[in-house]
Amino acid sequence: MEYRQLGSSDLQVSALALGTMTFGEQNSEADAHAQLNYAVSRGVNFIDTAEMYPVAPRAETVHRTEAYIGSWLKHQQRDKLILASKIAGPARGFSWIRGTPRINREHLTAAIDGSLRRLQTDYVDLYQLHWPDRYVPMFGATSYDVTQERDSTPIAEQLQVLAELVQAGKVRHIGLSNETPWGVSEFVRCAEQLGLPKIVSVQNAYHLLNRTFESGLAEVCHHTNVGLLAYSPLAFGWLSGKYIADPNAHGRITLFPGFGQRYNKPNVPPATKEYLRIAQEAGLTPATMALAFARTRWFNSSVILGATTLEQLKENLDSAEVMLTAEVLEKIEAVHRIYPNPAP
């Protein structure tokens, strides 16, 4: 397993991380512990979770993922692991989280204390804002609509509270998720101007069907030394090929159709078929090719894997040593030119 410095932090994270959003919905506590043990045995030191997990989010299961990790973490050597969690923002409602979550002093304080209690630890290594407190287009929306702007907590105020959490020892580093180029730039600018902790990472979707990070965000993150944590590297299972073989295949797309709307786009199936063809010609499984592609992009600090079975997790982790040939990369670029970002 390769380890990489996460942005400007002192964290050395594994190039493949374990995502946990299935814990508590598709995976039992025993399943979760088995995945965690196996991932660590393969060199994974970076575990990512969130207060709103599992997915699909609902009041009956909220916080269960962190609790499952906590019952495992209390038996581990804490300083050997890098643990990340997230505070939910207001973008998606979730009235069952603090009566509709916000990212302000009251909610940040309550959220981190709740996460630490469930995770059974004194600190998280990385604390991320799951969505901006302000309006931004996301999850399949591609155009900024100025009429949707709403009152939001100023970025400087959010950073001030995060700085206090760092000073209190509850958080080592801070990061963003589902952010825009302007948002990353503004968080960095405010931190520099006010002498507050700088964000070290942004966790956004990145995969063969959505390479929008490569434009504005790649430039911003390069110049500000902010690392990408790429989520959904298999596009909710599309890049495994299973939905091409069987549109009703078991998986998150069919289990939670409303949660996968960003993939319900006309060019997703034809683009996916082309990537499957390239993988087959190269003697690779589709998932291995997709993960190797994401892992080897110059701007990527770590790729966050999600699996529901140990067999899936093993295949995903096996991709850690795979390097794509120049020929395969050229074929991928050819498809990207025909079907650019069909699932943004």
Element (H, E) at 305: strand 300-305
Query: Residue with structure tokens 């100025």?
Result: 146
CA distance 239 to 209: 8
Residue pair 23/31 in contact (Cβ under 8 Å)? The answer is: yes
Give the Å distances, CA to CA, from 156 to 30, 111, 112, 195, 198.
42, 19, 19, 11, 11
CA distance 88 to 340: 30
User: Which residue among the candidates 3, 38, 53, 231 is catalytic per the annotation?
Assistant: 53
68 is catalytic: no
Phi, psi for residue 78 in degrees, rounded to 5: -55, -40
Angle between helices 181-194 and 216-224 (to 10 degrees): 20
Query: Residue with structure tokens 């079975």?
Result: 309
Query: Mind telling me the catalytic residues?
Result: 53
